[in-house]
Amino acid sequence: MKDFELLPRIESPLDLRRLNDSQLVQLSDEIREALCNLVQERSAHFASNLGVVELCLALHLVFDFSKDRLIWDTGHQIYPHKLITGRFDKFGSIRTRGGLMGFPNPNESDYDLFMTGHAGASVSTVLGMKAGDDLLGQSGRKSVAVIGDGALPSGVVFEAMNNAAELKKDLLVILNDNEMGICPRVGGLGKCLDKARVAPFYNGLKRDVNWLLNKLPLVGQPSRQALGQIKDAIKGFLHGGMLFEEMGFRYIGPVDGHDLVALRGYLEMVKEVSGPVLLHVFTQKGHGFDPACQDPVLFHAPPPFERSSRHEIRSVKKSSSRAYTNSMSDAIYDSMQRDPKVCVLTAAMCEGNKLSRIRQDFPDRFFDTGICEAHTVAFAGGMAKSGMRPIVNIYSTFLQRSFDHIFQEVALQNLPVTFCLDRGGLAGPDGPTHHGVFDNSYMRIFPNMTVMAPGDEFDVAPMLDFALSHSGPVSIRYPKANTENVERPESPVELGKAEVLRWGEDGMFVAFGALFPLCVRAADRLRQEGLDVGVINARFAKPLDQTTIFRALEESGFVITVEENTVCGGFGSAVLEAANAGGVSTNNLKCLGIPDRFIEHGERDELLTELGLDLDGLVASALAMHERGQFASRLEAKIVRQSTDT
């Protein structure tokens, strides 16, 4: 379907109400076609969006979210919502620099309430909005959170549900159950939800009986007690919603999430139920596009593909380049082969961190905890205490959710947990919710923590080997980028020791992390312009190689620190702090990194250019520092001459 008939006419969700049932089915098809067209152009979240099309339409048909409240948990399933809230004409720009964000964005639309890039907070935030609305005299507003079964085990979800039951606020939580996160869900809660899938007859019976019992008149206390006992017996026998009922939520479902008519009917029903309600909706990740249904893991956020027909893939464009993620995964695999004490923990990111081979070959030492980062870190602390050597392999942005447990259960205990932080730096089109630009800052504040970053692929395996032999916690961060290598003699990784590639009299780049090869190219260009500029691969932000860096500050015309982390509290800050404590002048020091603002989405190279962290930017900074130094020297010489003349 190349031309869209209905989508261009949907300027707001209110326009949906002019469509009949057959037109709504057609609109569902057009939304899926728009999603397919997008992913033929660039990588984007795909299968999860295919699975919520009918749910999105039903929600906007039943509620008026120009005044009611809607929060999509883990907002990568927001694309159908964007298409029907006035953004169809800009949809082709999604995940490009200056275009629509791939997550909810309040700056784009009043229909987006929060930037939800991390899982689990939707129930808390929508409950807070409901409480605020009630206090402000706007109790007529309805409040809805859509949360997936993969996000449901997050601890904050149960904290919020516990609070909601106590407050007895009118709140609708829609459990979008597709048996998946990015990968198939894990854990006991998933098995509990599975009970609702294996007995559709009983679940249909339960729905009918509960509906009937709720409509029966209650006459007298004995009748109320008897009715309550009947209802409890039915719920206890038929499973499914007993857990939520015991937590204080009215459980309704499960409901077919792709039957738009039935789904609207249930939403109309629960819209009028008072108190907290959980509507359990079954959806299929990838629904409506056969290849995505058959492999929802690959098609969660696939590379661009070509279609031979509406439901067939001709080819998938795969990169031949090797990524840092693959390099670290291989290093972890090799370490597990050598040492039976090494184990790996990840928080629902097996595929993202390229750990499938490890899961397959070392099932007893691979632990996927689900989207439960705080638990993952505390769990790793326990394993380390028992004598194992756990590796917590996780995205930098997601590790932030476990901050207190890094402090209490790992650093404070000085336990040998190795943190391998993927996506350390700019995460490209995923944008500000996913950029891993704070880990240098928050990891290095903890006593006992060693903070490292490979300068190139040659550093990856040696750094992991060092970390697994170290007696305390270690953080190793690496970017969402293809690997680069700087040819040089082998230099072993030693605690707190930088690697000097070459020395420069006019200036020095001190790189912490994967911008090291870029610094080498910048130094080469500056040498062509007649400047003697050297490069240091810092390797460690903590402990810092003060001897080498202080020498650079004292002997070179200028020193520029370079990192893909926020300047606030990052590697450059560590250099400034150490120099201040050591009485070393920093007049010739410049710190480059991420400024004190949230960085929008775009390709990583585009963002580096915008921030002055590309080749031209590094060269320009060096030339400016050299000129400043020359000016200072000329000014000093002039002052000396004037003093002599006087």
- Cα 175 to its chain centre, rounded Å, is 20
CB burial readout 379-403, b (16+ within 10 A) else e: bbbebbeeebbbbbbbbbbbbbbbe
Distance from C-alpha of 4 to C-alpha of 6, rounded to nearest angstrom: 6
Residue 476, C-beta contacts closer than 8 angstroms, at least 6 positions apart: 328, 418, 419, 420, 421, 452, 453, 454, 463, 464, 467
Active site includes 401?
A: yes
Active-site annotation holds for 285: yes
3 state DSSP class of 106: coil
**Helix H or strand E encompassing 563:** strand 559-566
Three-class SS of 42-82: CCCCCHHHHCCHHHHHHHHHHCCCCCCEEEECCHHHCHHHH
Distance CA 646, CA 642 (A): 6
Question: Contact at 8 Å (CB) between 553 and 589?
Answer: yes
Q: What is the CA radius of gyration of the chain?
A: 28
Nearby residues of 107 by Cβ (< 8 Å), 6 or more positions away = none
Do 6 and 53 touch, CB atoms closer than 8 A? no
Quote the CA–CA distance of 287 and 181 in Å, as a whole number: 15
Catalytic choice (33, 373, 457, 564): 373
Catalytic, out of 82, 285, 365, 604: 285
Cβ-contact 258, 284 below 8 angstroms: yes
Cα three-residue angle 443-573-625, rounded to 5 degrees: 145
Contacts of 402 (CB under 8 A, 6+ apart): 373, 374, 376, 377, 378
CB 415 within 8 A of CB 381: yes
Report the C-alpha gap between 150 and 369 in whole angstroms.
11
Spatial contact of 544 and 578, defined as CB atoms under 8 Å apart? yes
Contact 471, 416 (CB under 8 A): yes
Q: Is 373 in the active site? A: yes
Between CA 238 and CA 201 the distance in angstroms is: 10
Taking the C-alpha atoms of residue 3 and residue 6, their distance in angstroms, rounded to an integer, is: 10
- What CA–CA distances, in Å, run from 94 to 1, 7, 116, 298, 614? 20, 16, 16, 20, 24
Cβ within 8 Å of residue 536, ≥6 positions away: 498, 499, 500, 501, 508, 509, 510, 511, 548, 549, 552
Task: Say which of 264, 389, 401, 604 is annotated catalytic.
Answer: 401
CA distance 196 to 189: 12
Cα–Cα separations (whole angstroms), residue 379 to 303, 409, 444: 34, 9, 21
In the DSSP assignment, the letter for residue 515 is T
- As annotated, the active-site residues are 285, 373, 401
